[in-house]
Amino acid sequence: MKQIRSFCFIILVLFFTEPLFAQLTSIAKKENEVLSVMHSISSYDLYNTIKELTSDKYYGRLTGTEGYNAAAEWLAGEFEECGIKPYGDNDTYYQWFDIPYILVFEGCETYLHIPVKGGEIQKYYKYVSEFIPGSTSGSGEITAEVIYAGYGITAPELDYDDYKGINVKGKIILIEREAPVSDRKDPELFKKWRPYSFHQYKLKNAVEHGAKGMLYNYGPISNPNNAYDPGFIYSHVGDTVVSDLFAGTGKNHKETVEKIRKNLKPQSFETGKTVTIKNYTEYHPEGKGSNVIGLIEGSDPELKNEVIILGAHLDHLGRCYEIMPGANDNASGIAVLLEVAKALAKSPVALKRSVLFLAFGAEEQSITGSKSYLEHPRFPLEKTVCLINMDGVGAGNKLDALAGENYPEIWKPIDQANQQYIHQSVRPTNFPNLARPRLDAARFMWAGVPSISFSAYGTRSPYHVPHDNLEIITPEIMEDLAQLLFLAIIEIANTNMP
Ligand SMILES: [Zn+2]
């Protein structure tokens, strides 16, 4: 009886495990050698790459600056060392594009004037916890009344104008981010509002209405993805500033926003408050930046013309008062990309398809690097099997695979490699394709290239602030991801793809 039972058990085990093992066919043949290379990927090396890229010598890697170019050179040097071929412009690792940039210096201020008997006192807001100077702000100082202008939107065809009935000439506006309609709750309606949800639109619309300054209720974060007007000075603010400006007006901020969203009718008004914004910035229209591109050429005479792209953005926000190191966003993605590149360069299984390593520039500046690549792709897009992208993969203990559900044929080998060898929590999600292109991967999807984008979660990670630094990094999650992608890319490079 006992024998029969264990026999049945073996049959069961074979039945359930056989198909799984059989599916990563290209790895199975040389499993021990492959796993030995996989284990050479270490969290120690991953951590050290982040340490390098977040060091002050790169000044936060704002594309267009010398700091960024030095980081790009460092990465190119690493590619060269492990035998990754240059695949940018003219046999170099770099693919160049124009990218104007703005430097924001120390000493910027945002403060409130509070009238008191016989004069006034000033309330200075704290850098980072209460305000961050606008990353594309003009340079100079403005002291003016603050007008609440809702979402800062003028949409005649939607019969909606936040500027109707108020005069913002020479004033500072306080506005909300996004649009009064949710892209998730009502995707169809959001489509109509989408063009008005962009930062660039809001800034330009404010300038057109004669406003001279802006308090952007987007949380105190740095964000160079905005328009620039030399005479327009602004800060990003959060709850403290907003509630100070609403205090004593008889209005409550939360209720005001709810009213706009419910009725789709503006609620603009004069706050009666006076604020000073003082920013020191420098505009550089001449900026030039690059993607960094390396290649492992495929071994198959036919399939080598098809390419798998592993991508991550190398840039960050540069200096916005203080240097923004961007450890999680996105030194972490580059660290994983580099370790996967090194491991694939010594893969015991030859890669039939080519693998392109693509470090994007200017993701933070309107996702310009991926746009530039798509305008000048190194392989035809119809020969591009997929983009596997990484953005913010350095902090947390679980992984999200954005659009994993949208591209099952790419997701399958990744999922199988995970189940068989890595055993990490990786959650594929559905990408409804309605959001603005806030990711390099989104641009590729829109261009028809299957794209899955990884990010880590599970801890609170600071976003676009100076403390996105080495201290918040959890290298183990990057090690799991790097090992997973090493295996999955071998499989994708060698098996039949639809
Ligand atoms: Zn970012």
- What is the predicted pLDDT for the residue at 435? 59
pLDDT at 369 over 50: yes
Is residue 217 within a helix (H) or strand (E), and if so which, with residue range? strand 213-217
Q: Could you tell me what percent of the chain has a pLDDT over 90?
A: 89
Dihedral (CA of 370, 374, 379, 380) sign = positive
Task: Please name which of 322, 394, 360 lies closest in space to residue 59, comparing C-alpha atoms.
Answer: 322
Cβ pair 68, 62 in contact under 8 A: yes
- Kindly give the pairing relationship between strand 398-402 and strand 384-390: unpaired
Ligand 1 center from residue 329 Cα (angstroms): 5
The three-state secondary structure class of 222 is coil
Q: Give residue 207's identity as a one-letter amino acid code.
A: V
Fold agreement between 26-96+288-494 and 104-282: no
pLDDT-based confidence at residue 20 (cuts at 50, 70, 90): very low
Domain range list for the chain: 26-96+288-494, 104-282
- pLDDT tens per residue, range 257-314: 999 999 999 999 999 999 999 999 999 999 999 999 999 999 999 999 999 999 999 9
User: Angle 277-279-280 (CA atoms, 0-180°, nearest 5)?
Assistant: 165
56-81 in b/e burial notation, b at 16+ Cβ within 10 A?
A: eebbbbbbbbebbbebbebbbebbee
Please state, in angstroms and rounded to a whole number, the distance separating the CA atoms of residues 212 and 225. 19
- pLDDT tens per residue, range 155-199: 999 999 999 999 999 999 999 999 999 888 888 899 999 999 999
> pTM (2 decimals)?
0.93
Please state, in angstroms and rounded to a whole number, the distance separating the CA atoms of residues 325 and 222. 12
- pLDDT tens per residue, range 210-220: 999 999 999 99
Please state, in angstroms and rounded to a whole number, the distance separating the CA atoms of residues 365 and 198. 13
Ligand 1 center from residue 295 Cα (angstroms): 26
Ligand 1 center from residue 156 Cα (angstroms): 33
What is the total residue count of the chain? 498
Q: Supply 75's token pair.
A: 């990465």
pLDDT at 351 over 60: yes
26-96+288-494 sits in which CATH class?
alpha beta
Ligand 1 center from residue 338 Cα (angstroms): 19
Q: What's the CATH fold of domain 104-282? A: Glucose Oxidase; domain 1 (3.50.30)
Ligand 1 center from residue 410 Cα (angstroms): 25
- What is the predicted pLDDT for the residue at 465? 97
- What is the predicted pLDDT for the residue at 187? 83
Ligand 1 center from residue 307 Cα (angstroms): 26
Ligand 1 center from residue 316 Cα (angstroms): 6
Mean pLDDT of the chain: 94
Ligand 1 center from residue 282 Cα (angstroms): 21
- pLDDT tens per residue, range 479-488: 999 999 999 9
Ligand 1 center from residue 6 Cα (angstroms): 54
- pLDDT tens per residue, range 149-163: 999 999 999 999 999
Ligand 1 center from residue 404 Cα (angstroms): 21
Helix 332-345 × helix 475-494 angle, to 10°: 50
- pLDDT tens per residue, range 106-125: 999 999 999 999 999 999 99
pLDDT at 89 over 70: yes
Task: Please name which of 177, 251, 249 lies closest in space to residue 215, comparing C-alpha atoms.
Answer: 177
Ligand 1 center from residue 429 Cα (angstroms): 20
- What is the predicted pLDDT for the residue at 434? 60
- What is the predicted pLDDT for the residue at 460? 84
Find all residues with CB under 8 Å of 488, minimum gap 6, and list them: 388, 413, 414, 417
Ligand 1 center from residue 364 Cα (angstroms): 6
Answer with the residue of higher pLDDT: 36 or 21.
36
Q: What is the mean pLDDT of residues 141-147?
A: 98
Ligand 1 center from residue 214 Cα (angstroms): 22
Q: What is the mean pLDDT of residues 346-358?
A: 97
